[in-house]
Structures are given as C-alpha cells and as structure tokens.
Amino acid sequence: MDGNAKLFLVASADFSGRYAAVEALKKRILQEKSTALSILTCYSKDIALHDLQERILTFSFDTQRIVIFKDAVHVSKEIKDFMAKNLKTICSFNYLIFEMEKDYVQLMRDKKIVSDKFFGFLLQKALRPKMALSGKASTLDDFKIALRGNNISSALYVLGKLFETRSSEKEREILGLQIVGMLVQEFSYLPVSSAKQKYFDYLWQADRAIKEKGMEPRFAIELFLSKTLVG
C-alpha cells in the first residue's frame, strides 16, 4: 500500500457533519480538476468485489471518478485485500472517500479497527477533512489545555492543526518528539502509581515508533491518547 493525496477518511457520528465534509471534498476536487468527474457511491455492506473491480479499474483520459464508500467499517475483507494490493493503481484515476459513521475518537478506541491492516493504514495515512473550521492558529499551549481538561476531541483537533503547519517529514518528526517530551513532563507531576507508569510506557512506545519504526508522529500520539485519556 502507499499513501496518496486522493485518499480521504470522513469519520463522524453526525450525519450532517459527514454530509457537509463529503460535499466540501467534492467541490474541492472539482475545482482542482479540469477533466470531467463522475461520482460512484458504494454501500459497503452490499458491494461485491467483482462489481467494484469492474467499476473502478476502467480508465478514461477524459474522466476521473470520486468513489465514496458509505459506512466503510463494513467493507468486506476481500475488498480490503484488493484495495491494499492495488491502491496505487486505483488512486491513479480515482479519488477515494471512506465514510464511517463513528467519530474518529471512537475508531481509535476500536481494537478491531486499529488492528485491521487496511483500516489502520487509513487511520494513519488518509487525509481527514475537519468537521469544523477555525481561523485561529493552534499552539502547544492549546494542546496542553485540552489535555488538562481531559478533552480528547479538542486535543485531537489541535494536534491535527499543529501537524498541518509542518510540511516536511523531518518537521513532523521534530514536532512529534517535542510533543512526546511535553507529555512526559506533563505526566511527571502525577503521584507515583501504576497509571503513571502505564503512561510512561506508552510514551516510550510512541517515541520508539517514531524514531525506529518510521510511524507517522501524529498517528503515534493519537494512539497514545486513545490508550490513556479514553482508554
């Protein structure tokens, strides 16, 4: 599998939020493309592999597609395997939008989702449009405030804003390690307990994942938050 700017994840329990995000993506893609675009909607519980293959592997120089997978948590294993093996080819002439009827926080807490190879890839690599927009630049202090208030949704939102401003892989790694260091400092004030040791163990795992395994820093920190604040 390979990451691609044509791969999107829209995750929200709110129908209107998902709808608005998908419509905004359609408009954005249409503005970027001079060629014609067709829109294919797949209902994940019903779509069969051979039907999907016929629809998304056909190619036209004049037309590209936006393929929307509704309720994508129900995509079958054979389709996930097919997508994983052929993602680069598929994305060469398709924009893929995976719509999930759960908030991103809920997905991060779902062990079946996180441990699934394809869904884990989506969580880490797919572009995620915001459900709400803000013109205010986010800071590490905003992230601290959200953490101290145990506000996981705000913490994830601020985290996303912080990483958006880092365009290079090296900048994102530096920011990720900076946040890990900040988290170590934050949790160092807790009284000695098994919970405190658990937090430090998870932070060590996040640090190793970023430095040695090449994990996206944002995803490593999101995993930490899912294991602690909402674990």
CB burial readout 92-120, b (16+ within 10 A) else e: ebbbbbbbbbbbbbbbbbeeebbebebbe
Mean pLDDT of the chain: 83
| Contact of 100 with 129, CB cutoff 8 Å | no
Higher per-residue pLDDT: 16 or 126: 126
pLDDT band at 16 (very low <50, low <70, confident <90, very high): confident
Task: Answer whether 25's CB lies under 8 Å from 8's CB.
Answer: yes
Q: Give 61 or 48, the one with higher predicted confidence.
A: 48
Q: Looking at residue 208, what is its pLDDT? A: 93
Distance, in Å, from the CA atom of 184 to the CA atom of 50, rounded to the nearest integer, reads 50
pLDDT at 61: 61
d(CA 191, CA 175): 27
Distances (CA, A) of 14 to 21, 41, 97, 130, 205: 11, 19, 17, 13, 33
State both tokens at 194: 């098994």
pLDDT above 70 covers a percentage of the chain that reads 89
Which is more confident, 148 or 183?
Answer: 183
CATH superfamily to which 7-125 belongs = P-loop containing nucleotide triphosphate hydrolases (3.40.50.300)
| Amino acid 3: pLDDT | 45
Under 8 Å between Cβ of 227 and 200: no
* Predicted pLDDT at 46: 87
Residue-wise pLDDT for 58-78, tens only, equals: 766 666 789 999 999 999 999
For the cut 60, the answer to whether the pLDDT of residue 24 exceeds it is yes
pLDDT value for 78: 94
φ/ψ region of 127 (left if φ > 0, alpha if ψ in -120 to 50, else beta) reads beta
Neighbour-count burial for 36-72, b at 16+ CB within 10 Å, e otherwise:
eeeeeebebeebeeeebeeebeeeeeeebbbbbbbbb
Judge whether residue 127 has pLDDT over 80: yes
Q: Could you tell me the residue ranges of all domains in the chain?
A: 7-125, 140-228
Residue 190 is predicted with a pLDDT of: 77
The whole-number average pLDDT for the span 84-109 is: 87
Render pLDDT for 149-206 as a digit per residue (tens, 0 to 9). Answer: 777 777 888 888 888 888 788 999 999 999 999 999 888 877 878 878 888 999 999 9
Report the pLDDT value the prediction gives residue 65, as an integer from 0 to 100. Answer: 84
